[in-house]
Structure 1
Amino acid sequence: MSPLLPSSHLQGQVDTQQRISLSIGLRPQHQDSLNHYIQNVVHITSTNHSGFLTPIQYPTTYSPTETTYRALIQFLQNTGFTITHTYNHRLLLDFNGTVRQVEQAFHILLYTYKGPDGQRYYANNSDPLLPVRFANDIVAINGLNNALHWHPTQLLARRITTIAPTPSHSTCPLPNKDYLTPDQFATAYNLNGLYHTHIRGEGQTLALFELSPFAKSDIMTYDACFVKSHTIIQEIRVGKHLKSDEGALEVETDAELALSALPQLKVLKIYEAGNDVTSYLSQWARIIQDAPAVISTSWGLCEKALDAATIRQENILFAMAAAQGQTIFASTGDTGSAGCLGDTTIPLKSIGIDDPASQPFVTSVGGTSLSLKDTSTYSNETTWNTTREPPKGYNGASGGGISQYWVGPTWQNMPGVRNAYSTNKVCNAPVGKICRETPDVSLHANADHGYIIYCSAKATKTCSNNTPWNVVGGTSASAPLWAAVATLANEVSLRQGGHSLGFINPLLYQIARNPQKYSACFHDVMKGNNDNNGLNDGRYPATRGYDLATGLGSYNGYPLILTLVALARQRKGS
């Protein structure tokens, strides 16, 4: 049931003829064996690494049986529901029906509530029931409430009102002290050495998880100015509930920044779905089924707003991604250690972190503030936190903190991980363990000297046809630029006869535990904190090594990529 119910007000029953979309999540088979396999496949020192599973191999061994899946489909159809989508991995089943059918099939009643933010939503106030024969197979029935809406984590700083002409294009922006161009970024974070050896994304695919439609022409305009790529941009719509809103700026930010760091990327897959729990999970199920090597998402929701069943369903899909060798990056949000501050549905505004960044099979990406020596040479970084500066409409701070759901994974181990703020209480971890900490890594996110992107009113009313060039920041910019590094590392590995790197967190922490490699591959951020406007007594400060403000720090691209590939080749079977 929705965690919002205790703070909401009952309004009445839902129209029983209203049609709603739902899904049922299923458990994989042989969970202990699957956990063991994943541990072997992601750990560098494992002697049992036998390679990643393919999307064909996973269902054969670990998916729910075809018999169970067919029986569940038959049950739903006999009850009057319409099956809207099935998946090869059989971990999710999409369907729709009327409220009356839902109430009769699952022995519940749906009511309308007014949430703490004043928004109305429907929800069940008791747990649903299913036939006993499915008891051990079902994780959750998703869509019994429509209270949840994910938020993008990008910040629009300002629109650029004057554009100096260039010889090649009359409206393309020149380098400027107020924003970063792709060339400046590549120099500052040391990607040019790879570009000079023709490692620029050739032959690679990057996927973006999005919850809004967008204007493809905007991305092409940006590309014509800064990248001039021949990338195939595939728009993949999941479901029928997409609504145009300000989220289009997020989609275009993700796509344009990904292209800026991958000038010869072969395919950019942009998945889109409606902003509700059923569509959200359906999109992840589709992405995991399609198995692109690297995925980035800049949409999040405070852990405290999510019910445990949705979190578990995500985790099942992300575990499959790890077994298949997929790499997932997620931004940690822009409200610092007060991770629920941006979620108007949550009355408690103190400590909290965002999902899916907190998930143990996801690489969580926080934010820094980058300083340059001249126009593009790296100087230093501090924790991104502008929340105590005069209000500008785009103040923010690097998301980071402690998960209330997940025990700290064994790979999350280096100086700084166990710190004065570490605890086993909020996630009920066993004695001797601590809870999962975020972020894992960070990158420049300060909108004061942010990234330039193109967004017109074709995409969203937030953008303008008259001033379509915008300066943006936030951790949503950091996530796709980390995904670009993983994509470049895959290209290097494949050229050397290896495989895609897959879930890279164990590799990142392995590098960071070696002082020489850590110094060469990362910029350790040791100044500032991510306390949002003093709400949390200075939590959390940046320190030497790992910290809850910036994780391991930002990347020094060229040596990090070469080191990641070298470590990945040490895995047996790689």
Structure 2
Amino acid sequence: MATKHPLPGSERNVERGSKLIGDCDPSEKIEVFVMLRRQQQAQFDALMSRIEAGDPNVKPLSREAMAKDYGAAPDDVAKVKAFAAAHGLTVVREDLAARSVLLSGTVAQFQSAFEVKLEKYQHHTSGEFRGRTGAVNVPDDLHDVVEAVLGLDNRPQARPHFRIRPPFRPAKTHQASFTPLQLASLYKFPQGDGSGQCVGIIELGGGYDPADLKSYFASLGVPSPTVKSVSVDQARNEPTGDPNGPDGEVTLDIEIVGAIVPGATIAVYFAPNSDAGFIDAVSRAVHDTVNKPSVISISWGGPESIWTSQSLKAFNSVLQTAAALGVTVCAASGDSGSSDGANGGDNVDFPAASPYVLACGGTSLTASGTSITHEVVWNDGPQGGAGGGGVSGAFALPAWQEGLSVALSAGGKKPLAKRGVPDVAGDASPLTGYTVLVGGTQTVVGGTSAVAPLWAALIARINAAKGAPAGFVNPKLYKAAGVCNDITQGNNGSFAASKGWDACTGLGSPNGQKVAAAL
């Protein structure tokens, strides 16, 4: 047998607070997917640097051209298939465009193939999961071919970023909630219903009840949009009936997008909550040649520090593909302030931290009639939640953020040295949140989860009006002065709001018409 070497970046540690229960059943059937290198990487990098510089002459690639020029090489796929056959593993799916091969086999077969030990763990918040420690090993002939091996462990990787308004909060001030349409109007969204567009929504659990959607849209007086459920890795639309669980997330996302762009198709990609499921869901949405979403909204994430570097790299590479295809990806920046709920220190949330997404932070908004009277950083205290933001530990400073500085709550500023999060913001406090209908009950929800679909709906309106995708919007938004309402008050923990970009609300909340003009 060929000698095997550790796959760089695949090392896993025991998650803090987990308890080892015992070995996994060796005969248990599992699926694992292998991500492969990109063909013509140097040429792709050259294209990306033009896109990142905001070069107006670069046209988005078609999904067909992407697959042909920058997908996986057939020879590389053949090597993985030979490796699988040697270890008795079955190839379930191969996808040259998405550069992935999905393998099926028993725990024992995978342990032998990748020289790992899979064990069962129990964690107080994550429940029971299959985990591993150390690195994944691959043979010499796959060493440069394989970028990531995902799914050997299935620990929950992300959490939804939504918060339901606490019922015990007295309405002491004139804090109101808003329908998505009222926010679209306060934020001066251009007219339109998004017809001809598809918005992709990523979900890692829960589901929606069509009856909820029907009565919600009827109550707003908007036609019901076409909502399609797409199953990824055997996950599907499975509502639990608990609005406090992931159903709240799924329904919130669909209701915000659908209210603002009822003419658009909404494709909801359901995947298991693991790094493998999350990455595969986004990859399937990006490469979807049936629904062809022009915008993708992601309201799930986890602290950058809990991802393995192979997962970060593989996920970031999928997001890079989205940028090259002209697909805008909006991601929630988190609901736990500058720490992102991680133990110790400041942390940004991923995938919002990827330089290829529009990271969406949170504000708290007060309005009178048709105008905004007051908007500050969303920070409802330790129990109430605050908008995520800060400086990435993993991603370099993008060209369009060069020269910016970050304002600190303790006073003073320091130059931004790496990717700063978020890029933009919008209403996120549950105290000034969104009126939605979940499980037959009307409830008010906030969280940066609401901001990602809000921005996704804005982009869908812009795309529909223009008849072309806005694509990777970050360079254009940072170049165009004054397209956002600058938020200058408040903090999210370690970082403070300031004039211009800051690590709480980014460039600010949208002035939709100005954003449309800039794009």
TM-score (norm: length of structure 1)? 0.81
| SS of structure 1 residue aligned to 2:457 | helix
Indicate whether 1:543 and 2:516 are aligned.
no
Shift, 1:329, TM fit? 0.4
Distance 1:24 1:415, change over 3 A: closer
Distance 1:63 1:250, change over 3 A: same
Structural mapping, 1:230-245, within 5 Å: 230-242=224-236, 244-245=239-240
Indicate whether 1:505 and 2:474 are aligned.
yes
Indicate whether 1:125 and 2:118 are aligned.
no
Letter matched to residue 104 of structure 1: S
Q: Structure 1 stretch 31-40 or stretch 118-127: which is displaced more?
A: 118-127
Q: Distance in 2 between matches of 1:208 and 1:120?
A: 27
Shift, 1:8, TM fit? 4.4
Shift, 1:403, TM fit? 0.9
2:198 alignment partner in structure 1: 205
Q: Distance in 2 between matches of 1:10 and 1:251?
A: 32
Residues 207 and 268 of structure 1 are in contact (CA less than 8 Å); yes or no, is this contact kept in structure 2? yes
Q: Deviations over 1:376-399 (max 9, x none)?
A: 3222210000116xx5xxx11010
Q: Distance in 2 between matches of 1:411 and 1:24?
A: 33
Q: Distance in 2 between matches of 1:331 and 1:113?
A: 29
Shift, 1:119, TM fit? 4.1
| SS of structure 2 residue aligned to 1:296 | strand
Letter matched to residue 310 of structure 1: S
Q: Distance in 2 between matches of 1:418 and 1:448?
A: 26
Letter matched to residue 286 of structure 2: I
2:356 alignment partner in structure 1: 361
Q: Deviations over 1:201-225 (max 9, x none)?
A: 1221111111122212211221111
Q: Distance in 1 between matches of 2:419 and 2:518?
A: 25
Q: Distance in 1 between matches of 2:374 and 2:304?
A: 32
1:172 alignment partner in structure 2: none
Residues 477 and 518 of structure 2 are in contact (CA less than 8 Å); yes or no, is this contact kept in structure 1? no
1:399 alignment partner in structure 2: 388
Letter matched to residue 188 of structure 1: L
2:287 alignment partner in structure 1: 289
Residues 541 and 549 of structure 1 are in contact (CA less than 8 Å); yes or no, is this contact kept in structure 2? yes
Return the match for 1:371 from 366, 369, 376.
366
User: Going by fraction, where is strand more abundant, 1 or 2?
Assistant: 2
Distance 1:555 1:6, change over 3 A: closer
Q: Deviations over 1:220-277 (max 9, x none)?
A: 22111114225221111112145655111101100101122224x2311111111122
Shift, 1:106, TM fit? 1.4
Indicate whether 1:382 and 2:344 are aligned.
no
Structural mapping, 1:208-219, within 5 Å: 208-212=201-205, 213-219=207-213
Q: Distance in 2 between matches of 1:147 and 1:61?
A: 34
Indicate whether 1:154 and 2:162 are aligned.
yes
Letter matched to residue 504 of structure 1: V
Shift, 1:474, TM fit? 0.7
Q: Distance in 2 between matches of 1:146 and 1:271?
A: 18
1:552 alignment partner in structure 2: 507
Q: Distance in 2 between matches of 1:418 and 1:216?
A: 45
1:302 alignment partner in structure 2: 303
Q: Distance in 2 between matches of 1:4 and 1:554?
A: 39
| SS of structure 2 residue aligned to 1:386 | coil
Distance 1:473 1:6, change over 3 A: closer
Shift, 1:551, TM fit? 0.6
Q: Distance in 2 between matches of 1:298 and 1:118?
A: 18
Distance 1:4 1:362, change over 3 A: farther
Indicate whether 1:256 and 2:255 are aligned.
yes
1:525 alignment partner in structure 2: 487
Q: Deviations over 1:100-123 (max 9, x none)?
A: 101111122222344475844332
Distance 1:443 1:78, change over 3 A: same
Kindly tell me the number of residue pairs found equivalent between the two proteins.
492
Distance 1:491 1:90, change over 3 A: closer
Shift, 1:140, TM fit? 1.3
Residues 352 and 360 of structure 2 are in contact (CA less than 8 Å); yes or no, is this contact kept in structure 1? yes
| SS of structure 2 residue aligned to 1:94 | strand
| SS of structure 1 residue aligned to 2:454 | helix
Q: Structure 1 stretch 551-560 or stretch 62-71: which is displaced more?
A: 62-71
1:271 alignment partner in structure 2: 269
Residues 367 and 383 of structure 1 are in contact (CA less than 8 Å); yes or no, is this contact kept in structure 2? yes
Distance 1:222 1:475, change over 3 A: same
Residues 87 and 109 of structure 2 are in contact (CA less than 8 Å); yes or no, is this contact kept in structure 1? yes
Q: Structure 1 stretches (4+) deviating beyond 6 angstroms? A: none
| SS of structure 2 residue aligned to 1:337 | helix
Structural mapping, 1:44-55, within 5 Å: 44=54, 46=55, 49-55=57-63
Distance 1:118 1:150, change over 3 A: closer
Shift, 1:147, TM fit? 2.2
TM-score (norm: length of structure 2)? 0.89
Residues 333 and 422 of structure 2 are in contact (CA less than 8 Å); yes or no, is this contact kept in structure 1? yes
Q: Deviations over 1:82-131 (max 9, x none)?
A: 22322241412212211110111112222234447584433233322222
Letter matched to residue 529 of structure 1: N
Q: Distance in 2 between matches of 1:133 and 1:227?
A: 60
Q: Distance in 2 between matches of 1:150 and 1:241?
A: 15
Shift, 1:5, TM fit? 4.8
Distance 1:98 1:258, change over 3 A: same
Letter matched to residue 434 of structure 2: Y
Q: Structure 1 stretch 403-412 or stretch 414-423: which is displaced more?
A: 414-423
| SS of structure 2 residue aligned to 1:469 | strand
Q: Distance in 1 between matches of 2:196 and 2:351?
A: 28
Instruction: Please provide the CA RMSD for this pair.
Output: 2.3
Q: Between the two proteins, what is the percent identity of the paired residues? A: 28
Residues 73 and 96 of structure 2 are in contact (CA less than 8 Å); yes or no, is this contact kept in structure 1? no
Q: Deviations over 1:410-451 (max 9, x none)?
A: 11236545985657xxxxxxxxx8111100100011111211
Q: Distance in 2 between matches of 1:248 and 1:124?
A: 30
Residues 201 and 266 of structure 1 are in contact (CA less than 8 Å); yes or no, is this contact kept in structure 2? yes
Distance 1:383 1:21, change over 3 A: same
Structure 2 residues without counterparts, runs of 5 or longer: 1-10, 169-173
Q: Distance in 2 between matches of 1:403 and 1:270?
A: 28
2:42 alignment partner in structure 1: 32
Distance 1:118 1:559, change over 3 A: closer
Residues 279 and 315 of structure 2 are in contact (CA less than 8 Å); yes or no, is this contact kept in structure 1? yes
| SS of structure 2 residue aligned to 1:179 | coil
| SS of structure 1 residue aligned to 2:339 | coil
Shift, 1:68, TM fit? 1.4
Indicate whether 1:445 and 2:414 are aligned.
no
Q: Distance in 2 between matches of 1:447 and 1:9?
A: 34
Q: Deviations over 1:258-301 (max 9, x none)?
A: 122224x2311111111122222221221111141100010111
Structural mapping, 1:98-247, within 5 Å: 98-115=106-123, 119-157=127-165, 178-191=176-189, 194-195=190-191, 199-212=192-205, 213-242=207-236, 244-245=239-240, 246-247=245-246
Residues 157 and 301 of structure 2 are in contact (CA less than 8 Å); yes or no, is this contact kept in structure 1? no
2:5 alignment partner in structure 1: none
Residues 13 and 134 of structure 2 are in contact (CA less than 8 Å); yes or no, is this contact kept in structure 1? no
